[in-house]
Structure 1
């Protein structure tokens, strides 16, 4: 079974960050492996074989590992670090969130638009609400009272959400209870933390989905 799929199903699985020395759940870390020609490869999907090197899923932590040569130390050899590694990781994390949100939309498990979200979330059956990270303060607060008890995710900009729903921008969306919502929750948290921007209500990241 792929490493990431295993770690998503076993929240108790933990590994040590080579930068902070902290032991953290694997869904709060980025896994790296050393590939051909000693190339350092971020294993975002957890499908690559080989010994894993784990680093906290925060841009500044990844940059610290590079600047302090900690990847070489952990790998016990000199590794080739790609240019724009942190940007590449951010893009892959973004693609995962958008990909799972797109699958949820196609499966009829995701809806977008304030009125539609307002109407349907109140009926129950939804696990999380997404609000654009660059939405106005009022827009961000509109669904807060309604979303009590739901996971709230704001790791995507309006244009990043809009891509999924075939619009220029989307400020509000919601995802029904199920496996895709669980994936979006985990990947959304990793993306938000990587960008250094916690969710509107981080406690709700631990809500049941």
Structure 2
């Protein structure tokens, strides 16, 4: 029996840095939150890569909850407390800016993995790797055909000795055109990942993006999709 889905050890989760969400007050692992920064011109801006200097504010909520908090004035109060100043400007389209930043970070990561050789495209190549047990992650464009998805899903189950289980690739919140541009390749409909660490890096970005836009509520079996 081949090794089954990759799981993050509990001691690793416990040792990960925690940050408090400014809206819920909950302290959660930093990797699952989104950081926002205050620019020199006092504007709140997404910092999803957590690289901007200075004090940051962290959120764990999805887009819908953020927009409600913004509309009720709760977001400004939370930012004022986090940055210890009332002199700040919150863009009306902050939620959209965050979503776009998370999308960009995920697509950039896929592009880096493509250049690093840990990513496969093309149904035939992916199917071969899947049946040989070399696939650790499977992704489908949002507009991929059901038959094509099912064929690769089945190949992955066979190759990983999990026939009969509900194991299938993730449906990405981006279509084939977006994937093709990100990877610099033509007609990217399916993506296969052959490196465990690469799958972890992609999952980190993808899970934050999907959580923020709310698509994780429709895909609550993701822990089964990285092998």
TM class by shorter chain equals: 0.7 to 0.9
**Offset at 1:50?**
2.1
The verdict on how the C-alpha distance between 1:183 and 1:108 changes in structure 2, with shifts beyond 3 A counting, is same
* Contact 1:19–1:64 under 8 Å retained in 2: no
Instruction: Give the structure 2 partner of residue 154 of structure 1.
Output: 171
Where does structure 1 differ by over 4 angstroms across 4 or more consecutive aligned residues?
Answer: 148-151, 206-209
The verdict on how the C-alpha distance between 1:38 and 1:27 changes in structure 2, with shifts beyond 3 A counting, is same
Unaligned runs of 5+ in 2: 1-11, 161-166
**Offset at 1:71?**
2.0
Instruction: Give the structure 2 partner of residue 48 of structure 1.
Output: 52
RMSD between aligned residues = 2.7
Instruction: Give the structure 2 partner of residue 74 of structure 1.
Output: 82
* Contact 2:63–2:95 under 8 Å retained in 1: yes
Q: Aligned partners of 1:144, 1:192: CA distance in 2, in Å? A: 21
Instruction: Give the structure 2 partner of residue 130 of structure 1.
Output: 139
Instruction: Give the structure 2 partner of residue 63 of structure 1.
Output: 67
Instruction: Give the structure 2 partner of residue 4 of structure 1.
Output: none
The structure showing larger relative contact order (alpha-carbon pairs under 8 Å, at least 6 residues apart) is: 2
Deviation per residue, 1:48-81 (Å, 9 max, x gap): 2222211115212332342323323433322211
> Matched residue pairs, number?
199
Instruction: Give the structure 1 partner of residue 128 of structure 2.
Output: 119
Q: Alignment partner for residue 97 of structure 2, among 88, 92, 99? A: 88
* Contact 1:55–1:61 under 8 Å retained in 2: no
* Partner-residue secondary structure (3-state), 1:129: strand
Unaligned runs of 5+ in 1: 1-9
Higher-Rg member (1/2) = 2
Instruction: Give the structure 2 partner of residue 21 of structure 1.
Output: 25
The verdict on how the C-alpha distance between 1:113 and 1:125 changes in structure 2, with shifts beyond 3 A counting, is same
**Offset at 1:24?**
2.3
Residues 24-35 of structure 1: matches in 2 within 5 Å? 24-35=28-39
Residues 189-200 of structure 1: matches in 2 within 5 Å? 189-198=207-216
* Contact 2:153–2:168 under 8 Å retained in 1: no
**Offset at 1:197?**
0.9
**Offset at 1:202?**
3.7
